[in-house]
Amino acid sequence: MIPVLGYEGQTVAVLGLGRSGLATARALIAGGATPLCWDDSVEARERAQAEGFACADLSRDASWEGVAALITSPGIPHLYPEPNRHIAKAWEMGVPVDNDIGLFFRSYAAQGWGEFDTPPRVIAVTGSNGKSTTSALIHHILKVAGRPTQLAGNIGRGVLDIAPAQDGEVVVLELSSYQTDLARALTPDIAVFTNLSPDHLDRHGGMGGYFAAKRRLFSEGGPERAVIGVDEPEGRSLANQMGEGPADDRVIRVSAERKLGGAGWSVCVRKGFLSEMRKGRQVAAIDLRAVRGLPGAHNHQNACCAYAATRALGIAPRLIEEAFASFEGLPHRSQIVAEIGGVTYVNDSKATNVDSAEKALLAFDNIRWIAGGLGKEGGIEALKGALGHVRKAYLIGFSARDFALQIGDLPYEICETMEAAVARAAEEAEAGDTVLLAPAAASFDQYPNFEKRGEAFMAAVARLGE
C-alpha cells in the first residue's frame, strides 16, 4: 500500500466505493487521514461500513464540514455529459477534487528513497488502443531484464494498492482518459502515448476534450522522456509541442506506418521489422514477424512503444528481443486460444470499437468473423475497407441486424448468441481459416464486461473438442 501524504489529521471524502475507492480509503488511513465515504449504491456503502469506514451523504451541506478534499473514482463523470451532483457540490463548497492517480503521484516518493542506489521510476502509458498490451509488455521486458517492477492502474492492481518502492524499481501504469482527466498531479518519468481514435466522446465533450485528457499526462508534469505515436495528427502535434528541436532526444517518435528519419530518436516498424533510429542512423533492429504474442500491425505498434520506453531506461536491444519472444500476450486481446483441425481461434473481445476491430481484422487471413453486441455511435460502416480478409461474418447480440446492413456484400449469418456463432463458424471453417472474435461493440447487452464475453468465446471453443 502507498500511504497518502499531505492530509494527515484531515478528513477526506471518497466518492465511489469500488476497487479504487476502497483502496483509496485504506491508503488515506495509512497516511493519517480520516476518509468519509459515499456511494449511491446501498450495497457498496454496506461493504465499506463492514470494513469500518464511515459513510455520509455528500448531497447534504453538513457532510462537507471540515472536508479537505474529494477523491472521486475515475468512472464517475465530473463534467460531461453532465457533472455528477456530488462533484458539483464539491465545487460549490470550494473543496478540491482529485482522484487516486493524483494521490499516487503526490505520495509515491518517500523519505527512504535517499538510501537507494537507483531511484525508482514511473512509466505511464495512455492512448486509445494498445495501452494495456504496451503496459504489460513493458512490465514483461523489465522482468526479463531483472529489474524490480510493478504493474498497476487501469490494469492489474489499483495504484494505491501496490507495495512501497524498492531500490531501482520501475512502476508501470496504464492510465485511461478517465484517470488522466482529473488527476491534480501527473509526474511520470517516462510518458507513453500510443495512438488516438474516437472513443468516450460523450464523457469528454468531443474529440478535442478526449485528446486534451490524454495530453495532460505530458503537459502537467513534463516527463523526462516522452514516447509518442505519430501516426495520427494529434500525436504529431503532441510530439512537436514536447520537443525543442529536430535533434531533441527527450521525445521518441513511434510509427507503425512509415519510416521515421531526422536527427532525433525514433522507433518504427515496416514489413514486420522494428528499427531504432538515432541521429539518422539505424542502431538496432528486431524481426517481429514470428513473435506469436504480438500478431498484426497494431501489436507491432505496441512493441515499438514498449521498446522505446525500455530503451529510454537503458535496457539493451538484445534483452528486449528476448522478452518479445517470450511474451504471451494479454487475455482477450488477439489471444490465440486454440488450433483445431488447422483452424485457429482468436479471442479479441477487447476490440470494443471500430478502430480496435479494424486492427484485429487486418492482422489475420481467411477470417470467419464473430461480431456484434451493443453497437456504438456510427455502427461499423467504417470497417468496410478492412473486410478483405473476411470470408463470412457471424453476428451476435443487440446490434446484429444493424451490423448486417452495414457490411456491404460480405456473406453473413445472424446467430444471436456466442455459442451459436462459434458452432456455425467452426462448422464452416476450413484448414487455414481463423475464427476471430472482434466484436466492434460493447458487451453490455449480453455480458457484464468484455472479459466475460471473451470467456464465453473460449468456453464455446473448448466445447468443440469434446
Does 32 map to a domain? yes
pLDDT of residue 209: 95
Task: Centre a 10 Å sphere on the Cβ of residue 116 and count the other Cβ atoms it contains.
Answer: 13
Whether pLDDT at 70 is above 90: yes
Average pLDDT over residues 351-368: 92
Whether pLDDT at 126 is above 80: yes
Average pLDDT over residues 38-52: 96
- More confident site: 394 or 261: 394
- Give the confidence band of 112 by pLDDT, cuts at 50, 70, 90: confident
pLDDT, mean over the chain: 95
Average pLDDT over residues 46-59: 96
365, 308: one domain: no
CATH code of 194's domain: 3.40.1190.10
Structure letter (DSSP) for residue 160: G
Does 89 map to a domain? yes
119, 166: one domain: yes
Average pLDDT over residues 72-95: 94
Average pLDDT over residues 115-140: 95
Does 6 map to a domain? no
262, 139: one domain: yes
295, 220: one domain: yes
Does 172 map to a domain? yes
User: Radius of gyration over alpha carbons of the chain, in Å?
Assistant: 23
Q: From 336, 300, 358, select the one nearest 458 (Cα to Cα).
A: 336
Distance CA(265)–CA(314), nearest Å, equals 14
131, 187: one domain: yes
Average pLDDT over residues 326-336: 90
Whether pLDDT at 466 is above 90: no
Does 3 map to a domain? no
Average pLDDT over residues 288-299: 89
28, 93: one domain: yes
Does 5 map to a domain? no
Whether pLDDT at 356 is above 90: no
Whether pLDDT at 156 is above 80: no
391, 346: one domain: yes
- Give the confidence band of 103 by pLDDT, cuts at 50, 70, 90: very high
CATH code of 28's domain: 3.40.50.720
Burial class (CB in 10 A: 0-12, 13-18, 19+), 142: buried
405, 277: one domain: no
Residue 152's domain comprises: 103-326
Instruction: At 408, list the grid cell.
Output: 456491404
Does 186 map to a domain? yes
Average pLDDT over residues 259-277: 93
> Cα angle at 246 between 123 and 284, to 5 degrees?
60
Whether pLDDT at 297 is above 90: no
Domain stops at, among 273, 308, 326 = 326
- Residue pair 144/124 in contact by the 8 Å Cβ criterion: no
- Give the confidence band of 222 by pLDDT, cuts at 50, 70, 90: confident
- Residue pair 128/201 in contact by the 8 Å Cβ criterion: no
pLDDT of residue 221: 82
Binding-site positions for ATP: 127-133
Q: Give residue for cell 474529494.
A: 70
- Give the confidence band of 99 by pLDDT, cuts at 50, 70, 90: very high
CATH code of 412's domain: 3.90.190.20
Domain stops at, among 326, 346, 367 = 326
Whether pLDDT at 111 is above 80: no
pLDDT of residue 292: 85
* Model confidence pLDDT, tens digit, residues 159-191: 999 999 999 999 999 999 999 999 999 999 999
Task: Centre a 10 Å sphere on the Cβ of residue 58 and count the other Cβ atoms it contains.
Answer: 26
pLDDT of residue 438: 97
Does 87 map to a domain? yes
Contacts for 407 with CB less than 8 Å, ≥ 6 apart: 380, 383, 384, 387, 393
Whether pLDDT at 199 is above 80: no
359, 275: one domain: no
117, 262: one domain: yes
Count of structural domains, the chain: 3
305, 351: one domain: no
Binding-site positions: 127-133
Average pLDDT over residues 127-133: 91
Whether pLDDT at 225 is above 90: yes
169, 266: one domain: yes
* Model confidence pLDDT, tens digit, residues 114-123: 889 999 999 9
pLDDT of residue 328: 87
Domain stops at, among 49, 78, 98 = 98
